[in-house]
């Protein structure tokens, strides 16, 4: 079974996707982390805007496990270097290039093949795996998403400012939603869950029930 969990930054999609991966014992693919990895490699290799596709010729390797996606570049595990707002911003900019999206989607499809997995992203259900067995779209208010992101970054040791994060979230939402090709929106057959006033366990239960129904 392939389950896609899409949603904007701070909607809770990572936490939910990892927990579903654990409960079902199937791998977890965090597509945003791979976008971030490509952004990071573009940054350190100094690739210009017109050269971003070259990143796919570089030695990037993705390893999947239960509740775990890790990215290696030149044998080094770079997964912990990808969490900053700077890398996120570049990832979101690169993501506006249609040719880049086509290429990274091919990468995801050949990485996964027919494997069972929980796939987290923005367009996992619309463009990467349009035939997924279950598509979830998580959302929450921008303020609640900023609050969650603030807590997460703080716990990871980053120095952060709530208002700045809220501004960045709104800006990123707009950029992601207004791409002329591949705008960010739920799949027509996705189940939309607004998590603003929900506890994590409630969201998990809801997703598990949907999986049972489809199973
Ligand atoms: O989920 P994230 O914040 O780590 O993703 C970083 C950026 O990558 C996000 O702003 C948009 C882009 N992205 C995308 O366009 N499509 C995906 N499936 C995943 C991420």
Domain borders along the chain are 2-214
Position 183 confidence tier, pLDDT thresholds 50, 70, 90 = confident
**DSSP reduced 3-state for 71:** strand
Query: Dihedral sign, CA of 35, 38, 43, 46?
Result: negative
Q: Does ligand 1 lie within 6 Å of residue 94's CB atom?
A: no
Topology annotation, domain 2-214: Rossmann fold (3.40.50)
Does the pLDDT at position 11 exceed 80? yes
| Per-residue model confidence (pLDDT) at position 10 | 83
Surface-to-core class of residue 103, CB atoms within 10 Å of its CB (0-12 exposed, 13-18 middle, 19+ buried):
middle
The whole-angstrom separation of Cα 29 and Cα 175 is 23
Question: Looking only at Cα atoms, what is the longest distance across the chain?
Answer: 48
Mean pLDDT, rounded, of the chain: 94
Residue nearest to atom 13 of ligand 1 (CA): 32
The whole-angstrom separation of Cα 104 and Cα 107 is 5
| Per-residue model confidence (pLDDT) at position 215 | 73
The whole-angstrom separation of Cα 209 and Cα 201 is 12
Q: Does ligand 1 lie within 6 Å of residue 69's CB atom?
A: no
Position 49 confidence tier, pLDDT thresholds 50, 70, 90 = confident
Q: pTM of the full predicted structure? A: 0.90
The whole-angstrom separation of Cα 161 and Cα 27 is 34
Rounded to the nearest angstrom, the distance between the alpha carbon of 122 and the centre of ligand 1 is 6
| Per-residue model confidence (pLDDT) at position 106 | 97
Mean pLDDT of 142-148: 94
Q: Does ligand 1 lie within 6 Å of residue 121's CB atom?
A: yes
Does the pLDDT at position 196 exceed 80? yes
Q: Does ligand 1 lie within 6 Å of residue 169's CB atom?
A: no
């Amino acid at each position: 079974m392939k389950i896609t969990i899409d949603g904007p930054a701070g909607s809770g999609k990572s936490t939910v996707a990892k927990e579903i991966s654990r409960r079902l014992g199937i791998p977890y693919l965090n597509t945003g982390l791979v976008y971030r990895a490509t952004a990071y490699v573009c940054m350190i290799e100094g690739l210009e805007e017109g050269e971003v596709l070259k990143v796919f010729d570089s030695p990037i390797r993705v390893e999947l496990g239960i509740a775990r996606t890790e990215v290696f570049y030149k044998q080094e595990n770079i997964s912990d270097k990808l969490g900053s707002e700077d890398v996120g911003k570049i990832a979101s900019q690169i993501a506006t290039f249609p040719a880049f999206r086509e290429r990274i989607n091919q990468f995801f499809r050949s990485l996964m093949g027919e494997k069972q997995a929980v796939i987290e992203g923005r367009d996992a259900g619309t463009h990467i795996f349009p035939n997924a067995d279950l598509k979830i779209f998580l959302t929450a208010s921008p303020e609640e998403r900023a609050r969650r992101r603030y807590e997460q970054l703080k716990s990871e040791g980053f120095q952060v400012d709530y208002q700045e994060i809220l501004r960045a979230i709104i800006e990123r939402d707009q950029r992601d939603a207004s791409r002329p090709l591949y705008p960010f929106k739920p799949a027509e057959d996705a189940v939309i869950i607004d998590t603003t006033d929900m506890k994590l366990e409630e969201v998990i239960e809801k997703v598990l029930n949907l999986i049972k129904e489809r199973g």
